[in-house]
Structure 1
Amino acid sequence: MTLQDLNTRLAPHFLSVLGGFHHDPGEAGLPKGTATLLLLGPAEPGYWPHLQTQPEWGGPDPVDRWSRRVIGRLACDLGAKALFPFGGPPYHPFYRWALRTGRVWDSPVRLLVHPDQGLMVSFRGALALRERLDLPPAPPRPCDSCAAPCLTACPAGALNGAGYDVPACHAFLDTEPGCPCMTGGCLVRRACPLSQAYARMPEHSAYHMSQFHR
C-alpha cells in the first residue's frame, strides 16, 4: 500500500493523510508492532457538507462518532489500529505526533500550522500501521518566511507569542465584539495566510467554536 492508495480510500469520506512518521517497533507509546503512524484530517472542499449528511449528524458528539465509525472501519480493513484525539483522559499526544511528522509545525502562537491548511489544521484520528510506508520529505516551515500576522490578530490579546490565556478568550467570546470569532472562527487562525487560502467553511469553524465555548 502507498500513501496515494490510502488517500484514494479516504477521499469519499473527505479525509486525507496530513502527515506521518516511522516508528521503531521497540519504541514505547504506540500499539505493539506499529511501523508507520499516519495522522488523518479533513480534506476540503466538501468535508463539512458531507459530514452533515452522515447518520451521526443530529445526535450527540456527531463529529467524534463519525470519526470513530469511518476511521475505525478503515483500520479494521487494513489490519491497523485507529487512535483518536478525543475519548480521554488519558489523551493521545497528537500535538507531539504532529510535530514529529515534519509536515506540521508549532506556529509563533504555538498553534499547529500545516503547509496546506495553515492554522485551520485539525485531526480526526490516526492509523497505526504495521507496514513501513514510504513518506515524502518534509517541506520548509512556512512560518520562517511569514510576517506572522497571527501574533497580533487576537482582539482580546488572549493568544500571542507569550501563550494562550484561555479565561480571557472565553470572557471575550461572551461579549458582542466576540461574535465574529464565534460565527466565523478564531481571528488568529483566520489571520494566517495559509488559512485564508484553505477552503474551510465558516460554518465548520462556528461549530467548533460553539463546542469550545459552552
Structure 2
Amino acid sequence: MAGIDMEDLRKALSRDGFLILGGFAFDASKTSGVAGLPACDPTGGSGFLILVGNAGGAMWEAFTAAPEARDGARDPLDRYTRRCITAIAAHFEMGAVFPFERPFQPFQQWAMRAGGFSPSPVGVLAHSRFGPWAGFRAALVWETSGARHPPEKPATAQRADPTLEGERAGPCPACVEKPCMAACPAKALTPQGYDVPRCLSYLEANPDAACLSGCLARIACPHGAAYRQGREQARFHMRAFTGGHVGT
C-alpha cells in the first residue's frame, strides 16, 4: 500500500452516508496501552487513525434503503455500519474498529486527540462544524511495522479533506449563553454534568414528551444546525437510548 488516498476514501465513505471526522498519526511503540490512543501491536510500529462518523441525514437515507433496516433483526444500524465499513476497510487495506463492539475503545478520547471537538453539557462531544450532531460509527486504522512511517502525514490528510480539523477547538468553551441547558425540560443538564438517570426518569414519566422526537437540548445548540437529525432519525435514536421502552 503506497499511502492513504484521502479523497478516494472520503468518496467511498460518502456513498454509504459516512464522513471523516478527524484523524491523527501515532507511534504504537510509544502509545500502546495509553488512554486516548490506539492499542496497537505491542511489538511496535506506527500508523494513522481515521475517525468515521455521520452528521445530518445522509447516513439515515442510505441506511433506511438498506436491507438491515427492513429485516427485523436486532441492531440494524450497527449491522449496516459493520457491513459497509468492513468492506471499505478491506478495499483500502486498513483495519476497522467499532464503538459498539467489545472491547470498547476510547472514541471520545480519540476525537479529542484528533481535534475539532469539545465536551458539551449534553453529554456528547460537539464538533466545530457539525455541533452536537456528529456521531462516531467506526475508526479506520492503518498500521505500519518497524521503522516505516505512514506516507500520508496528518498535514497532508488535512489538505485532502477539510473535515480533519487538526488542532482547531470545538465550539463549547466559547459558548457563554449555553441555551442547551435551559432547553432541557427534565433539568438533566447541570454544572456537574449530564444526569442520565434523571433524563430517563423524565421520559418514562412523560411518554408523549417532545424530547422523544429529538433531544430539545441538542436542538437548542446554535452550532451545526444544518446537520440536525430529522424526526424519524431522531426517534430511532431515542428509542435506542431508552431501550425501546419509551416512545415506541
After TM superposition, the score normalised by the length of structure 2 is 0.78
**Alpha carbons 1:154, 1:160 under 8 Å: kept:** no
The alpha carbon displacement at 1:60 in A equals 1.6
Q: How many residues of Structure 1 are paired with residues of Structure 2 in the alignment?
A: 212
Partner of 2:85: 71
The reply to whether residue 172 of structure 1 matches residue 172 of structure 2 is no
Report the RMSD for the aligned CA atoms in angstroms: 2.0
Equivalent residue number for residue 7 of structure 1:
10
* Larger radius of gyration between Structure 1 and Structure 2: 2
Question: Partners in 2 of 1:52 and 1:172 — Cα distance?
Answer: 29
CA contact (8 A) 1:82 1:128 kept: yes
**Unmatched 5+ stretches in structure 1:** none
How far apart are 1:196 and its partner, in Å? Answer: 2.2
Is the partner of 2:23 in helix, strand or coil?
strand
In structure 2, do the counterparts of structure 1 residues 203 and 132 end up closer, same or farther at CA, with 3 Å as the change threshold?
farther
| Deviation (angstroms), 1:178 | 5.8
Instruction: Give 1:95 shift.
Output: 1.2
Superposed structure 1 runs of 4+ greater than 4 Å apart: none
The one of 82, 86, 106 aligned to 1:93:
106
Aligned partner of 2:215 in structure 1 is 186
- 1:1-214 equivalence runs, <5 A: 1-26=4-29, 27-28=31-32, 29-32=38-41, 33-58=45-70, 59-88=73-102, 90-130=103-143, 131-133=150-152, 134-136=156-158, 137-146=166-175, 147-176=177-206, 179-183=209-213, 185-214=214-243
Deviation at 1:30, TM superposition (A): 2.7
Q: Identify if the C-alpha distance between structure 1 residues 34 and 85 changes in structure 2 by more than 3 Å, giving closer, same or farther.
A: farther
**Residue 3 (structure 1) shift:** 2.4
With normalisation by structure 1, the TM-score equals 0.89
Query: CA 1:194–1:181 in structure 2 vs 1: closer, same or farther (change >3 Å)?
Result: same
What amino acid is the match of 2:139?
A
- The whole-number CA distance in structure 1 between the counterparts of 2:130 and 2:208 is 24
